[in-house]
Structure formats: C-alpha cells, structure tokens
Chain A
C-alpha cells in the first residue's frame, strides 16, 4: 500500500426521507397529478376497447357493457372520471405557473386544495347526472 494509513472510509448511511417527511398539500397534488396522468393512459385504453367492442359486434359490446356497469366496473369508471377532472384542473394550475402566475406559497396551497375539491365535486355531479338521467336516450343512441 502506498500509505500506511488505514482507510477510514466507511459506508455512510443515507438519511431518512419519505419515511420522516410530513406531507404538504402541494406535494400531494404533484404526485397525484402524475398518478392520474398514468391512470389516464389506462383510461384511454378502456375507451379504445369500448369503441373497438362496439365496432366488432353486439355480443362483445354487451359483454363489455355488462362488465363496466358491474360494481367493479363502476369503481373503475368513477376513478377514471376523478382522474380526468383532477388532471385537467391541476393542468390548468401548471399552465398558470408556466406564465409565472400563482407561485406564491399561499396561492399554491389554496389552488391545490381547490383542485382536490373540484375533482371530487365534479365527479359527484357527473355521476349523479349519469345515474339519474337516461344518458343514452339523451344522446339519441339506441339501447
């Protein structure tokens, strides 16, 4: 060895991060923006499957509709609705930020809460409408 001194290098531990962090609302809205973005990919596949089934034939379409109107399917659709609305509202927040508006801590916190509120109220309103009205008849579609 070139030096007589023994190496004092030890493996330094990494200090805790997520494990100890107290979540902030702006942090939550950021990660959920990403998560809903990923969910929208899945949602687009679902819409594609729905259209493809309709094009393929009555049998497949009926099967898919049955699955989508089952309790499990409903949960997926409600989640998809919430994701669309959250991603849309938070996307508008990002648009303003890119223009340099709304970056003060107070505004950013407030708008983060608003986005959660908007997505939740919007989902509730849309589903209330869909479940209490004959949507298919309104669009002129046949059963």
Chain B
C-alpha cells in the first residue's frame, strides 16, 4: 500500500532541542538532525545545533564534532571515513549519500538537514535497521555458482572481466534502495524472513545483474527464474533516484534494465 504520510508513532514532534554555539565560536552553521531515543516513549524530533565549521571538511566531521564537543548522545554509524565501508549512509539535505565523502563545500550555504535513510525502521537517531535490505541481498545468491571446479582458478578473459566494471564496486550502503519510492512502498511486504510480493530494490538487483554478467557463473537460468516476478524485478519504473544518489557513481537503473532485457532475450 502506498502511504504518503508517516505512521502516528513516526511523526516528528516539535520538541526538538536547541544547542547554541559555544562562546567565541566563529564560522557558524546550523545543523538539524533527526533524533529518536528508543528508551524514551516519545516521537522522533529534530535537534538543532550551532556548529563552528572551522577545520571541518566532510559532513561526517560535523557529526563527529557534535558528538565529541556538543552532544555525546548523538548516535550514527561510521567506520572507514573514506567511502568503502558504506556505514555512514544517510539522508543529507534531501538526498542519500555517505556522510564521509560528502564535502561541506558541496552543500551550499544554508542549514544542514540530516535524516536517517528514508522509509526504514529507526533503531536510534541516524541508525536504521537494515535486516530486510540484507535479506534481499542474500536472496539473489551473490556468489559464484560454477558447475565445475577447476584445478587452479576460474579463468576469465579481459573482455568478460570488463563486463563487471560498474557492478562489482557496490559497497551495500543502501543509499540507492532507500532512495526508491517503489522500494519504499513495495520493499517490505512479506512476513519476517520471507520474500513474497516484494520488490528487491536497486542494490540487490545490481548484485543480481553482476552475477548474471559473470562469464564464470553457471546459474544464469536459476537466477533469471528467481527474478522473473511481478514484484521482485518489475516494480522498477525507472524513476532513477538510485542512480542519482549512488555515492560510488554506479547505475542500478541501467543494471535492472539489463536484467529485464535478458528476460526478453531468453524468451
């Protein structure tokens, strides 16, 4: 069901706190951050921080600065701080991206608005529960399925290897899937742990295509059989939000179109 508004318990309350600037701080900018505390029986709120941006280059630096110097209760995921782990994916000024690779100089001059990845269950503040996303990734069998085991390694020509460029680089940050309106409304429909009448989303489908394109893989037919489904694959309407937001510059929409074409070609 398409629900344009948020459920009652998810509506943002007006009880957001204001954290004024430290004395003598310069170069100030307001950062508004979505907050939810699972231990308080309250709706989510948006807190407002006045932050000195001196010496800050990336959005992740801002979050770390707030946590270190202003409000230690602020919760977010981060690890590598260089765009390879995918932990700090979040919604910054209305688009999903990685906080660690989003430069402050890309964000204009106004207030900063930081929210968790859209349409996901919130664990705390900017941390969402991505279990369903991972389940969908597992569902496309993202590993090599070869009939024969060679003595050494599975060989591949340079040309065949090149087909995987633009596909294998995905870091599973979930920016794309949680940017997709079709995924918002069709992405989580089955009972817990099962996939039924459910759109798998751009990230899982990009991975599906990555293995469909791999010359060493022998499970093409089974993979296509699994994806030939009104919901799993065909809920993609080429909205292209996935491609707009991918922090690695990949193109899930194109990969999904590729799978659809393989379906036609095999008849």
Contact = CB atoms under 8 A, between A and B. Distances in A.
Interface of A: 10-22, 24, 26-27, 30-31, 34, 94, 97-100, 103-105, 108
Interface of B: 4-7, 9-10, 12, 34, 36, 38, 43-44, 91, 93-95, 113, 115-123, 128-129, 179, 181, 184, 237-241, 243-244, 251, 253-254, 257-258, 260-261
A97 B120 contact: no
Contacts of A26: 238-241, 244
Contacts of A14: 6-7, 10, 119-122
Given A16-B118, A22-B94, A108 B6 contact: no
Contacts of A97: 238, 257
Interface of chain A, main secondary structure? loop
A59 B34 CA distance: 63
A16 B12 contact: yes
A106 to B, nearest CB: 10
Nearest to A26: B240
27 contacts: A12-B122, A12-B123, A12-B129, A13-B7, A13-B9, A13-B43, A13-B122, A15-B120, A15-B121, A16-B10, A18-B181, A19-B5, A19-B6, A20-B113, A20-B118, A21-B91, A21-B95, A22-B93, A26-B239, A27-B181, A27-B244, A31-B239, A34-B237, A98-B257, A100-B257, A100-B258, A108-B238
Contacts of B95: 21-22
A28 to B, nearest CB: 9
Contacts of A15: 10, 34, 91, 115-122, 128
Given A24-B240, A24-B244, 6 more contacts: A11-B9, A18-B184, A26-B239, A27-B244, A103-B238, A108-B253
Contacts of B241: 24, 26-27
Contacts of A104: 251, 254
Closest A-B pairs by Cβ, 3 of them = A22-B94, A13-B10, A12-B121
Contact of B253 (A17, A21, A34, A103): A103
B118 A17 contact: yes
Nearest to B128: A15
B226 to A, nearest CB: 21
B121 A94 contact: no
B254 A103 contact: yes
A13 B251 contact: no
Nearest to A23: B94
Contacts of B240: 24, 26-27, 30, 105, 108
Contacts of B122: 12-15
A11 B257 CA distance: 37
Contacts of A17: 118-119, 181, 184
Given A21-B94, A22-B94, A103-B257, A16 B34 contact: yes
